Chains A and B, each alone.
Chain A
Amino acid sequence: MGAVAYDPKVVTIWEGFKPYFEKRGAPIDYVLYSSYDAQVEANLSGEIEVAWNSPLAWVKSQILSRGECRAIAMRDTDRDLTTKILARKDSNIAGLADLKGKTIAVGASDSPQATLIPLSALADAGVAPGKDCRVVYHNVMVGKHGDHVGGERDAARALAAGNADAACVLDANYTVFINEGTLDPGATRVLASTPPFDHCNFTVRADLPEERSKPFVEVLLGMSFQDPDVRTLMELEGLKQWLPARTSGYVQLERAVERFKFYA
Chain B
Amino acid sequence: MPERFPKAQLDLEDLTIHEGAPVLLRRALAKLAVGELLELCGDSPELAEGLAAWCRKEGHRYLGEGKGPNTHRIERRAGLAPLMAAGSDIAEVADPHWGLAPRGARIEAGGPEFAFTLRHKREIWAQELSSIYKQAVGNQWSAARDIPWDKLPKLPDEVESAVCQIMTFLTENEFAALYIPARFIPRIHPHYREVVEVLAVQIVDEARHAEAFTRRAEAGGGGVGTTAVSSQLSLQTLVEEPDFTTATFLLCVMGEGTFLTLLKFLEEHAPESATATLARLAHRDEARHVAFGMEHLRYVLEREPERRASLAAAVEHRSRMLAAVSGLSPYVHDALTVLAGRGTSPRQVREGARRVAALHREMDRARRERLQSLRFDAGEARTLSAYHTKNFM
Q: Which residues of A contact B (CB under 8 A)?
A: 76-77, 79-82, 171-172, 174-175, 178, 185, 190, 193, 196, 225-232, 240-241
Given A77-B57, A80-B56: A231 and B111 interface contact (C-beta under 8 Å): yes
Chain A nearest CB, measured from B95 CB (Å): 11
Q: Is B309 an interface residue (CB 8 A)?
A: no
A178 lies within 8 A of B110 (CB): no
Q: Is B77 an interface residue (CB 8 A)?
A: yes
Chain B neighbourhood of A225, CB < 8 A: 59, 78-79, 81
30 contacts between A and B (CB under 8 A): A76-B56, A77-B57, A79-B56, A80-B52, A82-B49, A171-B49, A171-B53, A172-B56, A174-B53, A175-B17, A175-B50, A175-B54, A175-B57, A185-B16, A185-B19, A190-B46, A190-B49, A193-B49, A226-B79, A228-B82, A228-B109, A228-B110, A231-B81, A231-B108, A231-B109, A231-B110, A231-B111, A232-B110, A232-B111, A241-B59
Chain B nearest CB, measured from A230 CB (Å): 7
Chain A neighbourhood of B59, CB < 8 A: 76, 225, 240-241
Chain A nearest CB, measured from B279 CB (Å): 52
Residue of B nearest to A224 (CB): B79
Chain A nearest CB, measured from B30 CB (Å): 15
The docked-state distance in angstroms from the alpha carbon of A232 to that of B112 is: 7
Chain B neighbourhood of A185, CB < 8 A: 16, 18-19
Chain A neighbourhood of B57, CB < 8 A: 77, 172, 175
The docked-state distance in angstroms from the alpha carbon of A185 to that of B18 is: 7
A172 lies within 8 A of B53 (CB): yes
Chain A neighbourhood of B53, CB < 8 A: 81-82, 171-172, 174-175
Chain A neighbourhood of B82, CB < 8 A: 226, 228
Q: Is B97 an interface residue (CB 8 A)?
A: yes
Chain B neighbourhood of A77, CB < 8 A: 56-57
Chain A neighbourhood of B49, CB < 8 A: 82, 171, 190, 193
B111 lies within 8 A of A175 (CB): no
The 5 closest A-B pairs by CB, nearest first: A231-B110, A240-B59, A228-B110, A171-B53, A228-B109
The docked-state distance in angstroms from the alpha carbon of A215 to that of B77 is: 25
CB contact between A175 and one of B18, B78, B81, B112 (< 8 Å): that residue: B18
Task: Name which of B82, B97, B110 has the most chain A CB atoms within 10 A of its CB.
Answer: B110
Chain B nearest CB, measured from A12 CB (Å): 10
The docked-state distance in angstroms from the alpha carbon of A226 to that of B77 is: 12
The docked-state distance in angstroms from the alpha carbon of A60 to that of B109 is: 40
Chain A neighbourhood of B17, CB < 8 A: 175
Chain A nearest CB, measured from B59 CB (Å): 3
Taking A81-B53, A225-B79 as known contacts, 14 extra A-B pairs with beta carbons closer than 8 A to each other, sorted by chain A number, are A76-B56, A80-B52, A171-B52, A174-B53, A175-B18, A185-B18, A185-B19, A225-B59, A225-B78, A228-B110, A231-B109, A231-B110, A240-B58, A240-B77
Residue of B nearest to A184 (CB): B18
The docked-state distance in angstroms from the alpha carbon of A240 to that of B76 is: 13
Residue of B nearest to A229 (CB): B110
Chain B nearest CB, measured from A122 CB (Å): 18
Chain A nearest CB, measured from B282 CB (Å): 46
Chain B nearest CB, measured from A78 CB (Å): 9
Residue of B nearest to A241 (CB): B59
The docked-state distance in angstroms from the alpha carbon of A231 to that of B77 is: 16
B110 lies within 8 A of A227 (CB): yes
Chain A neighbourhood of B19, CB < 8 A: 185
The docked-state distance in angstroms from the alpha carbon of A174 to that of B53 is: 10
CB contact between A228 and one of B46, B77, B79, B97 (< 8 Å): that residue: B97
CB contact between B110 and one of A76, A81, A230 (< 8 Å): that residue: A230
Residue of A nearest to B17 (CB): A175
The docked-state distance in angstroms from the alpha carbon of A230 to that of B111 is: 9
Chain B neighbourhood of A193, CB < 8 A: 49
Chain A nearest CB, measured from B290 CB (Å): 43
Residue of B nearest to A193 (CB): B49
Chain B nearest CB, measured from A86 CB (Å): 11
The docked-state distance in angstroms from the alpha carbon of A230 to that of B81 is: 12
Residue of A nearest to B112 (CB): A232
The docked-state distance in angstroms from the alpha carbon of A123 to that of B343 is: 96
The docked-state distance in angstroms from the alpha carbon of A82 to that of B53 is: 8
Chain B nearest CB, measured from A89 CB (Å): 12
Chain A nearest CB, measured from B28 CB (Å): 18
Chain A neighbourhood of B77, CB < 8 A: 240-241
The docked-state distance in angstroms from the alpha carbon of A226 to that of B82 is: 6
The docked-state distance in angstroms from the alpha carbon of A139 to that of B57 is: 26
Chain A neighbourhood of B79, CB < 8 A: 225-226
Chain B nearest CB, measured from A218 CB (Å): 21
Give residues of chain B (84-138) contacting chain A, Cβ–Cβ below 8 Å.
97, 108-112
Give residues of chain B (5-56) contacting chain A, Cβ–Cβ below 8 Å.
16-19, 46, 49-50, 52-54, 56
Chain B neighbourhood of A79, CB < 8 A: 56
The docked-state distance in angstroms from the alpha carbon of A175 to that of B21 is: 12
Chain B neighbourhood of A171, CB < 8 A: 49, 52-53
Residue of A nearest to B49 (CB): A193
The docked-state distance in angstroms from the alpha carbon of A82 to that of B54 is: 12
The docked-state distance in angstroms from the alpha carbon of A80 to that of B53 is: 8
Chain A nearest CB, measured from B111 CB (Å): 7
